[in-house]
């Protein structure tokens, strides 16, 4: 199997150059081998079908564990959902299957998306293929790690609440596209925080990410926040011509950044300028309040979402003894990890009567300020550019030393665009030694095409 790009795969499978059953066997076998070394998956498919529709022609697609796949355990990285096998596919998954894709497996993630390093996983912590002593990033660590390590055509379906697509894409040196909130249906997603969750692709190239977005985007009556977007082919209008594009550089996003990251991102910005775009600095003054606001909103929503996991309906069940409360607390104590418990407590506290105005309502106001900052910037700029992450992929031994607060601070650059629901893409822009660095591009709501074009032009110039 020599082909790695999805574009070449599509060409070769149509011309009959690839023998599908052989390809499928090899892909599954390779996924298994990579998994035993790096822990990318919670479950891997046993076999693929033989008949496939275009446009995907049997392309292997991995699915983050929190996105339901019929007949495969879908546990959102949590022990409390162990044994939960959904009887239906999430809309994004059914679109992939309808387009002829094959689910290759369920990728490991932080429990319910709670994390930045994929170290809060009930089914194994994925290791970074660039250095197995380091994190893949999170929470979609398995998705990004596998995308980087697989030497055959594949695209991952991942999800972001506050940066879970961009962060692991950056740490693993692949492309991560978080679409506008609502562009991809959330039906069948095991929610973290409903007002923030977005499903999107992680892929080896910008073209691949654009291609997968075209397949999964579109209105779905089963998701009340779903936007129109059916039938847009983002690859058709993919263009390297970015002459005259205006790029904003938010100055708050360059504070306390690792020196190598800063250097690589600035040289990427200069590269983009040399392709005919112009850049200018801009200020987004609410940035400093975004992180605390995010952690209040996200945990408040998470604490209500997790209430349904109590050993009655989904996943883990226990021995019924004592009253309901006793049974629920036994199952929940056993099934939830430490970080999930912390967030349930934090979120419950933030929305308790008496505290709601002081925390939750205030956080909602900050969210509006963050959105306004972006809206103002997008009156002047087509795209904003910044580092994706302030640090290089850390070692597991370094992560262990971090306090919860230090952990949350790592999301400082990815949280604001996620709060605003705007689209963003992380594209590889260089290395520090063997460790990849990501450039983060952000655009106004539904301006995915602009975003993809800048990313594509940059990728081509590398």
Computed over its alpha carbons, how large is the radius of gyration of the chain?
21
Would you give the distance in Å from CA 327 to the centre of its chain?
Answer: 34
> For 39, left (φ over 0), alpha (ψ -120 to 50), or beta?
left
Give least dist CB 267 to ligand GLN, A: 27
In the complex with ligand GLN, the residue whose CB is nearer, 94 or 120, is: 120
Nearest to 76, CA basis, from 58, 63, 89: 63
Give least dist CB 114 to ligand GLN, A: 5
Contact predicate 84/51, CB 8 Å: no
Q: Which helix (H) or strand (E) holds 106?
A: strand 102-107
In the complex with ligand GLN, the residue whose CB is nearer, 170 or 235, is: 170
In the complex with ligand GLN, the residue whose CB is nearer, 184 or 268, is: 184
Q: Which helix (H) or strand (E) holds 177?
A: strand 175-178
Residues in a beta bridge with 217: 184
Token code pair at residue 196: 């923030």
Q: Which helix (H) or strand (E) holds 103?
A: strand 102-107
How big is the CA angle at 183 (ends 180 and 185), to the nearest 5 degrees?
130
Give least dist CB 116 to ligand GLN, A: 4
Contact predicate 66/192, CB 8 Å: yes
Tokens 């929305």: give the residue: 351
How far apart, in whole angstroms, are the C-alpha atoms of residue 392 and residue 114? 20
In the complex with ligand GLN, the residue whose CB is nearer, 100 or 115, is: 115
Give least dist CB 291 to ligand GLN, A: 10
**Which residues of the chain form contacts with ligand GLN (CB under 6 A)?**
113-116, 139, 160-164, 192, 298, 411
List all residues 6 or more positions away from 342 whose beta carbon is below 8 Å from its beta carbon: 404
Nearest to 136, CA basis, from 5, 39, 30: 39
Give least dist CB 257 to ligand GLN, A: 18
In this structure, the chain runs to a length of 462
Q: Which helix (H) or strand (E) holds 427?
A: strand 424-432
Token code pair at residue 76: 């959102």
In the complex with ligand GLN, the residue whose CB is nearer, 126 or 163, is: 163
In the complex with ligand GLN, the residue whose CB is nearer, 298 or 300, is: 298
Instruction: Just list the catalytic residues.
Output: 64, 139, 164
Longest CA–CA span in the chain (Å) reads: 70
List all residues 6 or more positions away from 146 whose beta carbon is below 8 Å from its beta carbon: 31, 34, 38, 40, 41, 62, 107, 126, 154, 156
List all residues 6 or more positions away from 374 whose beta carbon is below 8 Å from its beta carbon: 284, 384, 416, 417, 420, 422, 442, 444
In the complex with ligand GLN, the residue whose CB is nearer, 411 or 448, is: 411
In the complex with ligand GLN, the residue whose CB is nearer, 40 or 114, is: 114
Give least dist CB 86 to ligand GLN, A: 20
Give least dist CB 360 to ligand GLN, A: 16
Give least dist CB 289 to ligand GLN, A: 16
Q: Is the link from the previous residue into 373 a cis peptide, with omega within 30 of 0? A: no
Nearest to 413, CA basis, from 456, 370, 376, 451: 370
């Amino acid at each position: 199997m020599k082909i790695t790009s999805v574009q070449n795969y599509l060409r070769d499978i149509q011309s009959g150059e690839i023998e599908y059953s052989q390809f499928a066997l090899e892909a599954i076998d390779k996924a298994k081998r990579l998994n035993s070394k790096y822990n990318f998956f919670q479950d891997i498919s046993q076999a693929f079908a033989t008949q496939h529709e275009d446009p995907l022609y049997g392309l292997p697609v991995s699915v983050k564990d929190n996105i339901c796949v019929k007949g495969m355990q879908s546990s959102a990285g949590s022990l409390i959902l162990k044994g939960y096998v959904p009887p239906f596919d999430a809309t994004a998954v059914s679109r992939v299957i309808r387009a002829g894709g094959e689910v290759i497996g369920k990728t490991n993630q932080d429990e319910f998306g709670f994390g930045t390093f994929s170290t809060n996983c009930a089914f194994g912590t994925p290791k970074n293929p660039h250095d197995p002593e380091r994190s893949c990033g999170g929470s979609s660590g398995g998705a990004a790690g596998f995308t980087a390590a697989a030497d055959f055509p594949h695209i991952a379906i991942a999800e972001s609440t506050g940066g879970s697509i961009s962060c692991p894409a950056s740490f693993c040196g692949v492309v991560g596209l978080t679409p506008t909130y609502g562009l991809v249906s959330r039906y069948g997603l095991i929610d973290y925080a409903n007002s923030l969750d977005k499903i999107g692709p992680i892929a080896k190239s910008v073209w691949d990410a654009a291609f997968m977005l075209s397949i999964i985007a579109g209105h779905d009556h089963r998701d009340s926040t779903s936007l129109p977007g059916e039938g847009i082919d983002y690859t058709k209008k993919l263009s390297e011509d970015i002459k005259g594009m205006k790029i904003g550089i938010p100055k708050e996003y360059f504070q306390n950044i690792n020196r190598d990251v800063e250097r690589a991102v600035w040289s990427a910005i200069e590269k983009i300028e040399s392709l005919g775009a112009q850049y200018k600095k801009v200020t987004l003054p609410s940035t400093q309040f975004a992180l605390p606001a995010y952690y209040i909103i996200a945990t408040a929503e998470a604490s209500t979402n997790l209430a349904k996991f109590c050993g009655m309906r989904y996943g883990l069940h226990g021995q019924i003894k004592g009253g309901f409360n006793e049974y629920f607390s036994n199952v929940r104590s056993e099934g939830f990890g430490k970080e999930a418990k912390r967030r349930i407590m934090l979120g419950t506290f933030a929305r308790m009567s008496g505290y709601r105005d002081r925390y939750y309502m205030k956080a909602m106001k900050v969210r509006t300020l963050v959105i306004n900052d972006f809206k103002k910037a997008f009156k002047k700029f087509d795209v904003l550019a910044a580092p994706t992450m302030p640090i290089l992929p850390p070692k597991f031994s370094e992560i262990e030393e971090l306090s919860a607060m230090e952990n949350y601070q790592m999301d400082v650059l990815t949280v604001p665009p996620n709060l605003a629901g705007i689209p963003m893409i992380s594209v590889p822009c260089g290395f520090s030694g063997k460790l990849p660095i990501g450039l983060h591009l952000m655009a106004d709501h539904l301006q995915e095409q602009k975003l993809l074009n800048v990313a594509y032009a940059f990728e081509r110039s590398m």
